[in-house]
Amino acid sequence: MSAFLAVYLREILILKRRWARHLAGQAIAPLLYLLTFGLALGGSLTVSGRSYQEFLLPGLAAMASMIQGFSLAGDINVARFYYQVFDEIQAAPVSRLAYVVGEALAGLTRVFLAVILVAVLGFLFGVRLHYGPLFWLAIALNGLAFAFLGVAMAMLVKSHADQSLLTSFIITPMSFLGGTFFPIESLPNWAQKVLWLLPLSHAAKAARSAAFNEAPIFGDYLALTLSLALFFALAMWAVAKAKA
């Protein structure tokens, strides 16, 4: 337990030192999306009887949970390649499980901060939604899954520059194709089948249903749980490989 807390608290102390610029950076993307897509297009579009702003905001929250969970990889890489923090952790009595869980929960803390910020921005834009337990469960499952994926990728890449390529090839396409900005159901069947393989698609759908106070589709939560388990196993394997 103490090893897990040490890993977690190290990341939180770093976050505490730069929280202002961290939150400012988190606010830019959702603010621009709400301005460009929400205000510019939202007044003339409706999706399933909802304004486009109402449709967009839960998708932005799900996307923020993915981006912030995965962004942990960048900080791990900086600490690993430039400050040799991972080498120090290897020499300490810190188990793989403690390291993976500690890092991932630090990523989840970032996720909650980012999504709260999205909700506040939405409120300022006049969007009123229901942020109940099922909404936060979808956000937590998705954020934790991508935090585990971030830990895994940070262990597998050979340089900090490679991390940017992973973001470009994994996170950026998923941000635009995972049901954030448009309903996946409007696409052809073959495209829907492909996009429903993405965890973000299920996170956006689950968060949207919860935010609209509609009956949940538990298949989405199951898909997120399976993604979390898969990425957790990948992170455990990647850390073991990096320690070898």
Please, which pLDDT band fits residue 57 given cuts at 50, 70 and 90? very high
CA-based R_g, the chain, Å: 18
Q: What percent of the chain is modeled with pLDDT above 90?
A: 43
pLDDT digits (tens, 9 = 90+) for 116-165: 999 999 998 888 899 999 999 999 999 999 999 999 998 888 776 677 77
| pLDDT recorded at residue 78 | 73
pLDDT exceeds 60 at position 47: yes
Instruction: Tell me the one-letter amino acid at 228.
Output: L
Q: Mean of the per-residue pLDDT values for the chain?
A: 86
Residues 219, 199 contacting (CB under 8 angstroms) = no
pLDDT exceeds 60 at position 18: yes
Work out whether strand 46-47 and strand 50-51 pair parallel, antiparallel, or are unpaired: antiparallel
Residues 231, 101 contacting (CB under 8 angstroms) = no
Sequence ranges of the domains in the chain: 2-243
| pLDDT recorded at residue 162 | 72
